[in-house]
A and B are shown apart, each in its own frame.
Chain A
Amino acid sequence: MQPKLKSRVRCTDREIGEVTKVVVDPLSHEISHIVVSMNGSGERQVAMGHVQAVTDGLVELRAPSSDIAALPPFKRDDYVTTHEVEIAHLEEKIHVTPGEVLVPLPELERSVKRRTFFMNFTHAIGFLIGLPIAYPILRYLMKPMYAPFDNGWLKIGNVGKIKQEDIGVQFKYKKKVKEAYLPEAEIEKNVWILKATPAVLEKVYQGKDMEFRDALGKPVWTNKKEIPYVAFSGKCPHLGCGYKWRQHKLLGQVFLCPCHLSIYDASGKVLDGPAPRPLDALPIRVSAAGEVEIIDMEFKAGTKSQIRIV
């Protein structure tokens, strides 16, 4: 039991006063001393070691009153109250006031049902304020995230540029883009086109015409497997870098990506390197006069399956 404030204090010979203050060690949170009133003749600070027993309303010391009176007087200025200093969780350990200080609940607050009802109703109303705007906000933020595809044909050059078969030829072109409220701008893109021999063509198409569909599944275009011109997207399927057509020491004439050294043969098949899938073929059509048109598409980089993103 901890000594209570206002308890009487008795030495071996007589009562010397009451407990006016209690001193707490700030680190151990234990009571270190009590301050005794000495019946008006100057407070003394008494270490807990001197305390023999604590009962309700009474603190018994094991020293005579003369010893206690001989202690130096208590210096109040060396101390602060617990209100003036931040010691966490102190109230959980120190219980020195006689009894508790209580405040009655107002009459209206005594109904538990009432409290819970208004608490829950408040939550309900709060939820119903947020709910109507949640969906519009989500759509608002998502507006540019899934923009529909542009399936327009772009003229990019003439096949007269291609002098040899099975050789990759880069076609650079400018694409007009209008982003949101910005004025129309042009970006530079490129594709690799090759005039394929039947052997290479067979490797590209593998016996099937190449169908391109839009987001709803409607067919947009079909590359017929007989047409010898193949256009590959200029972005490497590994991480989107621009790749080149090079002479390789061992593998011959190949597409080579400088970023992570993915190597593809003329049909776009992966020969070496981290690429997860072959080069992406684009819809292509060539007019009688040799004018080449493609539909500009971009695909997600780094995935095994081909997922169109632009």
Chain B
Amino acid sequence: MTDERESMSPTKIGLGVLWPAFWTALPIKLAFVLVFLAMGIMQFEGRIGLAFLMLLASPVTIFALPTISMGLESHIGEGVGIALLFLISIPIDIWALGVVGRTFFLEKFRKEPPDGLGLTLWWKSALVGAIFLPILWFIVSTVTSTSISMAHSFFELEMFKGIPVAERISIELTIWGSIATAVLLLLLLIGVSLVGRMIRGTASGASPATDNYQGLIKRWDLMRVPADQGLMLAGVTGAGVVLSLLFWAALPVTTPHPHECCKQPEVKVQPPYKPLDALNKDEKMIVQLTAQLEAIEKRKAEEAEKNKGKGKAKDGHEAAPPAAKKP
């Protein structure tokens, strides 16, 4: 066991720190994801799985993401919420890496964790990620598209033309899938090992921890119990209540994707009622109508003159012009 520890491979170190740190930070990030989704400030289309992975691995992806989005034209989603989410992830990740880092130092390295370990681990992994991830992204997408077209072209050959569709799909998928996965896994291992190397470098300067095994376990276990429980619990509960209230306020009451059959009628926004304008309009209308009335009466009088000669005047079913209904 001791030997294994001294010569722990950088890949094991990298994995042993990154994997728990990702998952430690995730529950807190998810709370914000929910609120942002409810508020509608971020949307994901097909690439939600990828977006999830990017968020999960945020210590490593945070600075790589802008490069990938802009330089390589690969967008994971839309909305200002995404940037906000990654921003909020920074303190969360620093905390998570701190907890996991200290645990790892005590149990696996058997060394005293240095102060500010979380921050150190964070900016170092972010740096590795910023450089390595875009390279990985580029290589993997190139390899994938090349192997897809290569697999396609296999089936253009005469001897494979007869193979039916379902079989062809699966065989193609196996071919390019295994190539792309192999390349991806290899590159990921290299990346993780780089991070591991970096962590090992940080550990080399640390002093050894003197406790026995049980003592070390107890230390990192009790490290998770906060000094002021009441404050921490009140804080977490309070933050949760605030986020829930935001969630309630933001959650759309009716579906954001309505079906053709049941689209809500467009609520026409009532034009704002401007009293002065209305008065002026009404005044103008009254003047107009009065003029019309006078004109009609004049005409009637003229006609009456004419009809006097013809005989009985018609009974005035000519009612006054219909009263304009006031708005």
Q: Which residues of A approach B to under 8 Å, CB–CB?
A: 107-108, 111, 113-114, 116-118, 120-121, 124, 127-128, 131-132, 135-136, 139
Contacts and interface: CB of A to CB of B under 8 A. Distances in A.
A118 B232 CA distance: 12
B181 interface: no
A117 B248 contact: no
Contact of A116 (B218, B229, B247): B229
Interface string B224-251: 0110010001001100110110011001
A107 B240 contact: no
A127 B238 CA distance: 11
B169 to A, nearest CB: 41
Nearest to A124: B237
Contacts of B247: 132
Given A128-B244, A131-B244, A136-B248, A120 B233 contact: yes
A42 to B, nearest CB: 51
Contact of A114 (B225, B240, B251, B253): B225
Contacts of A111: 222, 225
A132 B217 contact: no
Contacts of A132: 34, 243-244, 247-248
Contact of B240 (A117, A131, A136): A131
A128 B237 contact: yes
Contact of A108 (B221, B241, B243): B221
Interface of B: 34, 214, 217-218, 221-222, 225-226, 229, 233, 236-237, 240-241, 243-244, 247-248, 251, 253
A302 B253 CA distance: 35
B241 A131 contact: yes
Nearest to A181: B262
A111 B224 CA distance: 12
Nearest to B248: A135
Given A108-B218, A121-B233, A136-B248, A128 B226 contact: no
Given A128-B244, A131-B240, A131-B244, 9 more contacts: A107-B218, A108-B221, A114-B221, A116-B229, A117-B233, A121-B236, A127-B240, A128-B240, A131-B241
A127 B218 CA distance: 29
Listed from nearest, the 8 A-B pairs whose CB atoms lie closest are A128-B240, A131-B244, A135-B248, A117-B225, A132-B244, A114-B225, A117-B229, A124-B237
Contacts of B229: 113, 116-117, 120
B237 to A, nearest CB: 5
A183 to B, nearest CB: 14
Nearest to A120: B233
27 contacts: A107-B218, A108-B221, A111-B222, A111-B225, A113-B225, A114-B221, A114-B222, A114-B225, A116-B229, A117-B225, A120-B229, A120-B233, A121-B233, A124-B237, A127-B237, A128-B237, A128-B240, A128-B241, A128-B244, A131-B240, A131-B241, A131-B244, A132-B34, A132-B243, A132-B244, A136-B248, A136-B251
